[in-house]
Amino acid sequence: MKVLVINAGSSSLKYQLIQTDTGEVLAKGLCERIGIGGSKLTYKPTGKGKYETQKDMKDHTEAISMVIRALSDPETGVVRSMDEIDAVGHRLVHGGEAFSEAALITDEMLRVLEALCELAPLHNPANLMGIRACQTIMPNVPMVGVFDTAFHQTMPPEAFLYGLPYEAYTDLQVRRYGFHGISHSFISQEAIAKLDKPAEETRVITCHLGNGSSMSAIKGGKSVDNSMGFTPLPGVTMGTRCGDIDPAIVIYLMDKLNLDTVGINAYLNKQCGVQGISGVSSDFRDLWTAAEEGNRRAELALRIFAYHVKRYIGAYAAVLGGVDAIVFSAGVGENDSGIRALAMEGLEYLGVDMDYKRNETLPRGEEGEISKPGSKVKVFVIPTDEELVIAKETARLAAK
């Protein structure tokens, strides 16, 4: 099946066309600055060059129609016509408590997603625009929604409830939802397949460390905790997001910096994390360069980030009653051996016996084991592939 995977943001839209039986990516691309002028489409068919088209896209519907034109272009396209696209899979950020797995997009789902916009004001409205655009351009193609929150719906109440009045949960839906579920699900399954143990007895800690980062405790293949919460803001500190902080800091900063709710939201999401600590960059490559040049704050940012990862490993080892595998993934987890080494240092008491040489020499972006062969806790680097998961889930549901 050929599945078009769509990840729609408020002014951007990422896409990949995937042949699901082989997992081959036929083409991928990005529409940027949708609705804000100066829009462009970048399109890269596999094995060919990269093409860029500058043309204003006033909304997501225009963006999707440009994507379809690029995919079916007689010279640079990868399909003869739109009819070759069998299904569309949408990455959806927030499914609340309504979705514990991927589902076919129906009018009922759209109503639920709309109601959930309040919980994910930055993401769900954009996801909905992506769906509506595809419905307009490809009305007869089946569509599937794959949620970032769904995998974490197995968390028990002690993990998902906050120390707030119970009514905040029952009346206002305030609870931990957890995010990056598509990735945590994929990398934990890959790790479980490598363990010499029945899947239902496995205890895995997954570290999805990228620009946004989250960690998960996974017992018998099911998520029992995730470091993100009601929103994707808490947990380990991130590129520009603050991660866990004392909630009273929010009130204090609003007062001292004279920020309203919009202002504090932007501050906590865009000016914090390793960017805020270092004052240098949110990109870990820049932080290592600056740290090597003697920038103390850049070094501190790296240490704080690795410390948070270690702190969650400790917490989740306790939650799981021991660990069989720790998995590193996403931009930082897959590429940054320095962060992996810092985070794993001193975990011998847990049964981790790291192969630091292997950690350092593992080719970037490649899958591999970075603990020694006899290590009680296996440490893996497993590249995540969220688009492939979405494509496969979409093919599975569309085939029904």
**Active-site residue list:** 148
- Rounded Cα distance between 59 and 36, Å, is 9
* 299 counts as binding ligand AMP under rule CB under 6 A: no
Q: Is 61 in the site for ligand AMP (CB under 6 A)?
A: no
DSSP codes, 288-331: HHHHHTT-HHHHHHHHHHHHHHHHHHHHHHHHHTS-SEEEEEHH
Exactly one of 330, 344, 381, 389 binds ligand AMP (CB under 6 A); that residue is: 330
One of 148, 190, 336, 393 touching ligand AMP (CB under 6 A): 336
Q: Which is nearer to ligand AMP, 62 or 387 (CB)?
A: 387
Task: Determine, following the binding rule CB under 6 A, whether residue 64 of this chain makes contact with ligand AMP.
Answer: no
Tokens of 279: 């004052």
Q: Which residues pair with 380 in a beta bridge?
A: 327, 369
CA dist 211 and 164 (Å) reads: 29
Name the minimum Å distance from CB 386 to ligand AMP: 9
Q: Kindly indicate which of the ranges 108-116, 264-272, 299-307, 328-336 contains the residues binding ligand AMP, using the contact rule CB under 6 A.
A: 328-336
Instruction: Pick the closest to residue 15 from 46, 42, 54 (CA basis).
Output: 42
Q: Does 173 contact ligand AMP by CB under 6 A?
A: no
Smaller CB separation from ligand AMP, 142 or 210: 210
**Can you tell me which of 188, 335, 371, 394 binds ligand AMP, judged by CB under 6 A?**
335
Q: Which is nearer to ligand AMP, 202 or 329 (CB)?
A: 329
d(CA 132, CA 17): 19
**Residue sitting closest to ligand AMP (CB):** 331
Of 278-297, which residues contact ligand AMP (CB under 6 A)? 282-285
Q: Tell me which amino acid residue 11 is.
A: S
Question: Per-residue x/- mask for ligand AMP, residues 211 to 230, rule CB under 6 A?
Answer: x-------------------
In the numeric block, the tokens 């004052």 are attached to 279
Task: Assess 87 for contact with ligand AMP (CB under 6 A).
Answer: no
Q: Which is nearer to ligand AMP, 143 or 274 (CB)?
A: 274
Three-state secondary structure readout of 21-34: CCCEEEEEEEEECC
Cβ atoms of 373 and 178 closer than 8 Å: no
For residue 40, the cross-strand partners are: 32, 54
Given a contact cutoff of 8 angstroms between Cβ atoms, the answer to whether 116 and 98 are in contact is yes
* Contacting positions for ligand AMP (CB under 6 A): 210-211, 239, 282-285, 330-332, 335-336, 364
